[in-house]
């Protein structure tokens, strides 16, 4: 009887039912990218919400009373993990008024209201795409409420979250009273912000390290005109130093947005745990590669997002079949820029629509650097974690990951390497108890699985040939996940 209060506590902390009894997935091929192994004719045993065994099929299994899932001809993997998303952004055209101001068409307040209303739907689209865990790497303080909602929603991925971005630049267009981006001017302000965020138990502290341009695009010189890359990166570095120091003192990890080589280098030198984008301005050098390896810094390439703003504005968006099928149709409908009346088109949009070629050229230029950098880092053994930056304009929550896979393939990563980045490596960005129980087929892990109808090791495109998804031990046939 003494054990009752504990049981009651466990029941109360579980907002949705975990299945009781034993489920066995039989006859399929189990692929565990972290170990690089594929086991044909596997027997995967699940009890409640976790895996208990992954073995070669034998006659002991199943036992009487077990629920059996026959996976003959199918492929079972740990659920995918997207380590760079933003739930405060819809992926639609009105979600970043700081990039293109279309608030005269839809107010930012209405946009945010829609995003909050759609949250359960957005969560389900991740599961439909085989994604069972995501890292939201920055948003308003309500991100922590979002994380709580996800953890009490059955058809949702596991969510880790950062709060507002500690930034070198301000974005007043996004401030409705709970801003996602906060400009910090001094190291002491930075430390104060970290202490304030610590109360929310964030999974990361996020820094937005935007380096001022060397050349001002318009007449009137940039304050950093004529300075070297290192000098321009040095301007915000004292804040980065203070934020990393204070975060680590409080046992919090730090993620940094730094797409220029010198800012990325400075971030890693200061102790950043995670770089959330590729370096896109120049090839990474040997010293940078060595530094990442020595420090154990993880890097998320986010290739898909680099093409999506430009392609959307230029009316050249080419969504994948997966995005068209599993993305939110309401969001996708907003991405048709031809629907914006001419008198309401901001300059950036008008220019891109009239003359798309320079936009496409600039995307290609970014990929020429970023894809090569990814290959260099992967070959050198740097830990790469897959991520999309979903939620940004044109980057669709959930299925954007399949475009990311195509681009990783273009960078000449093998299917097994891509899957490793998406499971075992991505789990490392989670850290803690959850990070230790996702991303592989180890007994004791959460039973978060994706079951495919064709072999992803033959072609990475088969990763979207999804038969069913298991989250927390509950199996969902893929085509039921988006049914209302
Ligand atoms: Zn981002």
pLDDT digits (tens, 9 = 90+) for 197-253: 999 999 999 999 988 887 655 555 555 667 888 988 888 999 999 999 999 999 999
CA of 417 to the centre of ligand 1 (A): 23
Question: What's the CA-to-centroid distance between 169 and ligand 1, angstroms?
Answer: 15
Q: What is the reported pLDDT for 227?
A: 85
Going by C-alpha positions, the residue among 169, 376, 196, 371 that lies closest to residue 263 is: 169
Distance (angstroms) between ligand 1 centre and the Cα of 139 equals: 9
CB 16 within 8 A of CB 57: no
448 three-state secondary structure:
coil
pLDDT at 7: 36
Residue 259 Cα to ligand 1 middle (Å): 11
Asked whether the predicted pLDDT for residue 182 surpasses 90, the reply is yes
pLDDT at 155 over 70: yes
How much distance in Å is there from the Cα of 442 to the middle of ligand 1? 30
Q: What is the pLDDT of residue 8?
A: 38
Distance in Å, CA 233 to ligand 1 centroid: 20
Total Cβ atoms within 10 A of residue 134: 31
In this structure, what token pair is assigned to residue 465? 């040939």
Q: What are phi and psi of 436, to 5 degrees?
A: -75, -15
Kindly state the DSSP code that residue 181 receives in the 8-state scheme: E
Taking the centre of ligand 1 as the mean of its atom positions, its distance from the CA of residue 389, in whole angstroms, is: 5
Spatial distance between the Cα atoms of 11 and 14, rounded to a whole number of angstroms: 5
- What is residue 214's predicted lDDT score, i.e. its pLDDT? 76
Taking the centre of ligand 1 as the mean of its atom positions, its distance from the CA of residue 41, in whole angstroms, is 40
Q: How far is the CA of 144 from the centre of ligand 1 (A)?
A: 16
C-alpha of residue 222 to centroid of ligand 1, in Å = 25
Ligand 1 mean position to 365 CA, how many Å? 20
272 in helix, strand or coil? coil
Measure 96 CA to ligand 1 centroid, in angstroms: 12
Q: Which residues contact 20 (CB under 8 A, 6 or more apart)?
A: 48
pLDDT of residue 24 exceeding 70 = yes
Interval between CA 274 and ligand 1 midpoint (Å): 12
Rounded to the nearest angstrom, the distance between the alpha carbon of 85 and the centre of ligand 1 is 6
Tell whether the model's pLDDT for residue 304 goes beyond 90.
yes
Q: pLDDT value at position 222?
A: 59
pLDDT at 195 over 60: yes
Q: Do 78 and 438 meet the contact criterion of CB atoms below 8 Å apart?
A: yes
Classify the phi-psi angles of 301: left when phi > 0, otherwise alpha if psi is within -120 to 50, otherwise beta: alpha
Distance from C-alpha of 263 to C-alpha of 186, rounded to nearest angstrom: 17
How many angstroms separate the CA atoms of 196 and 319, rounded? 40
pLDDT above 90 coverage of the chain, percent: 87
Spacing, Cα 137 to ligand 1 middle (Å): 6
Distance 89 CA to ligand 1 centre (A): 10
Share of the chain above pLDDT 70, in %: 94
**Mean pLDDT confidence for 377-382:** 98
Q: What is the pLDDT of residues 88-131, one digit of tens each?
A: 999 999 999 999 999 999 999 999 999 999 999 999 999 999 99
Is residue 340's pLDDT more than 70?
Answer: yes
Q: Return the DSSP state at 446.
A: B
CA 481 to centroid of ligand 1, rounded, Å: 26
For residue 159, report the distance from its CA to the centre of ligand 1, in Å. 15
- Ligand 1 centre distance from Cα of residue 107 (Å): 22
Token pair of 170 as six digits: 């301000």
CA 392–ligand 1 middle distance (angstroms): 8
Beta strand pairing call for 22-32 and 466-471: unpaired
**210 C-alpha to center of ligand 1: Å?**
13
Read off the pLDDT band of 292 (50, 70, 90). Answer: very high
Other beta carbons within 10 Å of 158: 24
| Host H or E run for residue 402 | helix 400-410
Q: Is the peptide bond before 264 cis (omega within 30 degrees of 0)?
A: no
Q: How far is the CA of 323 from the centre of ligand 1 (A)?
A: 19
Ligand 1 centroid – CA 327 distance (Å) = 18
- Determine the Cα–Cα distance for residues 58 and 75; give it in Å rounded to an integer: 18
Number of H helices, E strands in the chain: 18, 17
As a whole number, mean pLDDT of residues 148-158 equals 97
What pLDDT is attached to residue 379? 98
> Ligand 1 centre from 111 Cα, in Å?
18
pLDDT for position 484: 72
pLDDT at 362: 97
Q: Which ranges constitute the DSSP H helices of 253-337?
A: 261-270, 286-295, 305-313, 321-326, 329-334
Between the CA of 173 and the centroid of ligand 1 the distance, in Å, is 17
The rounded Å distance from CA 258 to ligand 1 centre is: 11
Q: How confident is the model at residue 394 (pLDDT cuts 50, 70, 90)?
A: very high
């Amino acid at each position: 009887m003494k054990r009752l209060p504990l049981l009651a506590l466990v029941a109360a902390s579980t907002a949705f039912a975990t299945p009781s009894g034993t489920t066995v997935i039989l006859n399929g091929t189990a692929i565990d990218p972290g170990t690089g192994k594929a086991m044909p004719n596997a027997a995967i045993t699940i009890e409640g919400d976790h895996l208990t065994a992954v073995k070669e099929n034998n006659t002991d299994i199943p036992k009487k009373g077990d629920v059996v899932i026959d996976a003959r001809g199918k492929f079972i993997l740990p659920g995918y993990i997207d380590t760079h998303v933003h739930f405060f952004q819809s992926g639609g055209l009105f979600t970043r008024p700081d990039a293109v101001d279309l608030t005269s068409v839809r107010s930012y307040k209405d946009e945010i209201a829609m995003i909050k209303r759609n949250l359960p739907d957005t969560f389900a689209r991740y599961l439909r795409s085989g994604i069972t865990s995501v890292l939201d790497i920055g948003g308003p303080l309500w991100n922590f409420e979002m994380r709580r909602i996800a953890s009490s929603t059955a058809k949702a991925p596991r969510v880790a979250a950062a709060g507002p971005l500690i930034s070198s630049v301000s974005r007043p267009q996004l401030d409705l009273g709970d801003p996602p981006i906060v400009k910090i001017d001094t190291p002491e302000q930075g430390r104060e912000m970290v202490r304030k965020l610590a109360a929310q138990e964030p999974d990361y502290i996020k820094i937005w390290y935007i380096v001022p341009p060397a050349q001002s695009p318009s007449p009137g010189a940039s304050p950093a005109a004529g300075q070297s890359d290192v000098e321009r990166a040095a301007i915000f570095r004292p804040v980065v130093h203070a934020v990393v120091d204070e975060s680590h003192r409080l046992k919090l990890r730090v993620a940094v947005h730094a797409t220029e080589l010198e800012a990325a280098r400075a971030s890693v030198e200061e102790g950043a745990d995670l770089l959330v984008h590729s370096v896109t301005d120049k090839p990474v050098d040997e010293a940078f590669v060595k530094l990442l390896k020595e420090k154990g810094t993880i890097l998320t390439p986010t290739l898909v997002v680099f093409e999506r703003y430009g392609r959307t504005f230029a009316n050249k968006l080419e969504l994948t079949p997966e995005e068209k099928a599993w993305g939110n149709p309401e969001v996708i409908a907003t991405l048709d820029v031809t629907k914006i009346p001419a008198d309401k088109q901001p300059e950036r949009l008008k220019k891109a629509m009239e003359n798309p070629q320079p936009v496409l050229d600039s995307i290609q230029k970014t990929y020429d650097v970023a894809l090569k950098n990814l290959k260099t880092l992967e070959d050198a053994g740097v830990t790469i974690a897959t991520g999309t930056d979903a939620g940004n304009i044109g980057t669709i929550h959930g299925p954007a990951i399949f475009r990311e896979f195509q681009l990783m393939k273009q960078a000449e990563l093998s299917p097994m390497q891509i899957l490793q980045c998406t499971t075992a490596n991505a789990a490392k960005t989670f850290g803690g108890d959850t990070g230790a129980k996702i991303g592989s087929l180890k007994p004791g892990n959460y039973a978060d699985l994706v079951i495919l109808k064709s072999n992803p090791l033959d072609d990475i495109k088969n990763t979207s040939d999804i038969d069913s998804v298991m989250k927390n031990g509950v199996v969902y046939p893929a085509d039921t996940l988006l049914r209302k």
